Structure 1
C-alpha cells in the first residue's frame, strides 16, 4: 500500500510542479512563489495522511510548550486538532504534543538553504520539553533502541551501570522519539544525489572549521532532506535503522539515496502515526523488504571537557558512478536454524533470559551437545533473534515464530507484523502445482 500511495504522490507532485511553472512563470514576487510551494507541500501531505484522525496540514504557524516558549514561524505543520489563534494576526499556534511533523519548504535547495532550514527546524528542539511526552514515545524509543543496538531496552537499574557511550545513545534515541518529525523539502536545487551530498558536506565543513559548533549534533539534524529526486535520511531506527558497528565511527547517522522521495516521506510520517494512534502495520502492506541507501556520514561521541561532550563526523565519499548504481531493497528472510538453536530459542521463549555464564542447565546443555557456546550465541545474535547484555541472553524478537518445512528444515523469525506469515504464504503460493 505504501508504495502505491507514494507513486501517486510522485505523479501528483510532477503534475503540480508543471502547473506552477506554467501559471506562475511571470511572477517574481518571492513571497508569492513561496506560497505556491508551501501550498503544494500541504496538498501533498493532506493526500498522504489518514482520514478520521483529526489530522490537518497548516501553513505559516508556530509551536509552543507549557512554559510559553515559541518556535520560529514554520512553513507547514502536520497537527492533530485545532490550534489557538494568535492575537491581531491570522496565525495559529499549536502545542508541541499535537504536532506530528514540521516541514520546511524551499523552491531551491542549495548549501545555504540547507543550513537555513536546519536553523529554522532547530527551534522545534528548543520548544520540546520532556513533560510533553506521550505513551507512544516509549514504544518508539524501545523499538529504535533494539534496531540500532541489537539489545532490549534496559531497565532503570541497568542504566545506572551504563558507559558514557551507552548513556549518550540511550538519551539521544529518547529525544528522537520525543521530538516531532523535521523534514526539509526542496523542489529544485541540486540535480543529483552527488551534488546534494557534496553541498551538504562542504557547508558542514565550513560551519565547523573552527571546532565544535552547538546545534550540529546528530539530534539536531532533520529526519529527512528531499531535493528533487534525491534524499538524505537520518538513521535513527524510526523507521530507518542501520545497526551500530564496531568501527571507530560506529554510528551511520545519515545516509542518502536517489529515487522514491515520497516513499521515504510516507514511511516517516506513517510510522509516527502508527505508533501514536495504534494503527495496524497492515498499512505498509505485506512487503517487508528492507530499503537500502548509500553510506553518507558516520559519527562518534567525543569528550570536550569534564562536563561537555561533542561529536566527530566522518564523510563517506562516493563517486557519481557509484551513486548511479540503482539501489535494490534487501528481501526479508527468516533464519534457518538447527535443533540446538531451536532448543535455546524455545527455552528463552519460556523463561525470558538465561545467564550464559552461570545458568547450570544452559551450561550442561552446551557441554552435553559439545557446542561452541560463543559461536552459537554469535550466530543467533547476528540473526537478530537474541541479544546478550551483561552475560544475560534474551529474545530480541517480540513475537518469535518457528516453521518446520516439508524438507526437514527449521526457520525462525519475527512475526510481530506478520513477517513470517507473509513470507511462508508467498512460498506456498509460488510452489509449482502438481500436474
Structure 2
C-alpha cells in the first residue's frame, strides 16, 4: 500500500507543480503560500483516516511560553490554539508528529536557512523532554522501540524492566540517548520542490555546510532533519525509524543519499511513527519485499577530548560513477542460519532461556564440533537477537522460523507478514523451476 499511496501523491505533485511554477504572481509570500498549500494537501492525503490527525501551519511551543519560528506544515494530534484572525495555530511540541519546511527551490542557501529554522523546534523539544514538564505516563513514550533499534545496531540490550539501564561504553550510551530523543521528537523534513541537478552536488552542499560549522552547537546527530528533499534527491537519517544501520567500531552512518521516490521516503518516516503510536496493521506496508540501498554520506562517533564530550564526523566522498553504481533498492531476504542457530532461535521463540554459559548447551555444541563464540556471533549478526551479559534475547516483535523445501533454515521478523510473503514467492519460484526442468 505504501508504494501505491506514494505513486498517487507523486502523480498529484507531477500534475499540480507545473501549475504553480507557471503562475504569473511575483509576490514572494503568495508564491510561498502556494507551495505550502500544495505540501499540506499532499500530507493530508498521506494520513490514515480515523486517527484524528490534522495538517496545520503555525508555531510549536512548550509549557513555558517558548515558541519556535513559524512553521509551514505540522502534522498534529489533539488540540492547539488558533491565532485570532489567521489560519495559523500554536501547538504543543508533545502533540506534533511531523514538521515540514517547504521551499520552492532547495539549493545551498535554502538548505542552510531551513536547517537552522527547523532547529528552533528541536531546541524547544530538547528543553521540554529534559525538563520536569514532560508527562511521565504518556503511553506514546514507551521506550521499547529505541531499545530494539539500539539492540539491532549494537547487539546489546541497553535497558529492560528488570535490570534498568545497562552499563554501556560512552560511544554506545551516547547513541542510545540520541535514539530515545529521536523517538519522541517530531519528524523534521525539509521539502524542496525543485533543487540540485545531481545527487553529488546535493551531497557536497551538505558536507560544505557541516564543515563550516564543525564545533558549533546545533550540529550533532539530533540536530539533523530526518529527511531533506531537493527535487528528485533525498538525504535520509538512519535513526531506526525506519532506516537502520549497525555501528561499526563506534561509527554510526547517520546520513545517506538516494534518488528513491522522496514521497515514499516521507511516508516511511510518518507511517513508522504512526505505527509505533497507534498500530497501523499489516496492510499499510504492502508486499514490503524491497529495501532501500543508501549511499553513505555522514558518519558520527561520540568522543571525549580533554574532558569535553562531542561527536566526530566523517564525510563519505563519492563521484557520479560511484553513486550511479549503487542500486536504489534490493530484494529483501530473511536470515539464512545454520542448524545450531536454528535450534537456539527455536528455544528463544518458545520463551526458553539461552545462555552462553549453560553447561548443557556448551556440551551439545562441543559434540557437534562448534564453538559457542561462533554461534553467538552468527546469531548477533542476524539482528534478531542481542546479548545481555551471558544471556541471548530476542529483540523482534514477532520472530518466526521456517525450513524451506531445499532444507535451508531461515528466520526473520514477521510482524508485518513479510516473511510469509517471501516464503510464498520462494516456493512459487521453486515450483516454476521444477516445472521448467520437467518439460525439457
TM more than 0.5:
yes
1:143 aligns with 2:148: yes
1:400 aligns with 2:404: no
**C-alpha separation between the residues in 2 aligned to 1:14 and 1:224?**
20
1:186 aligns with 2:207: no
**C-alpha separation between the residues in 2 aligned to 1:111 and 1:353?**
54
Q: Assess, with a 3 A threshold, how the Cα gap between structure 1 residues 89 and 413 changes in structure 2: closer, same or farther.
A: closer
Match of 1:27 in 2: 25
Matches within 5 A, 1:17-166: 17-22=17-22, 24=23, 26-59=24-57, 61-86=58-83, 90-128=87-125, 129-130=128-129, 131-132=134-135, 134-137=138-141, 138-155=143-160, 157=163, 159-166=165-172
For the aligned residue pairs, the C-alpha RMSD in angstroms reads 2.1
The unaligned stretches of length 5 or more in structure 2 are none
State which drifts further: 108-117 or 264-273: 108-117
State which drifts further: 132-141 or 101-110: 132-141
After TM superposition, the score normalised by the length of structure 1 is 0.91
**C-alpha separation between the residues in 1 aligned to 2:289 and 2:314?**
30
Q: What secondary structure sits across from 2:156 in the alignment?
A: coil
Partners of 2:213 and 2:219 within 8 A in 1: no
**C-alpha separation between the residues in 2 aligned to 1:50 and 1:252?**
31
**C-alpha separation between the residues in 1 aligned to 2:280 and 2:224?**
27
**C-alpha separation between the residues in 2 aligned to 1:313 and 1:373?**
36
Partners of 1:184 and 1:224 within 8 A in 2: yes
Q: What secondary structure sits across from 1:330 in the alignment?
A: strand
State which drifts further: 391-400 or 4-13: 391-400
**C-alpha separation between the residues in 1 aligned to 2:369 and 2:152?**
32
Q: 1:221 aligns with which of 204, 221, 224?
A: 224
Partners of 2:233 and 2:257 within 8 A in 1: yes
Q: Assess, with a 3 A threshold, how the Cα gap between structure 1 residues 51 and 397 changes in structure 2: closer, same or farther.
A: closer
Q: What secondary structure sits across from 2:42 in the alignment?
A: helix
**C-alpha separation between the residues in 2 aligned to 1:70 and 1:11?**
36
Question: For each residue in 1:199-246, what CA deviation from the matched residue of structure 2 results, as whole angstroms up to 9, or x when unmatched?
Answer: 1111211223xxx10011011000000000000001111101111113
Partners of 1:151 and 1:396 within 8 A in 2: no
Match of 1:337 in 2: 337
After TM superposition, the score normalised by the length of structure 2 is 0.90
Q: Assess, with a 3 A threshold, how the Cα gap between structure 1 residues 219 and 146 changes in structure 2: closer, same or farther.
A: same
Q: CA deviation at 1:406?
A: 3.2
The unaligned stretches of length 5 or more in structure 1 are none
Match of 1:298 in 2: 299
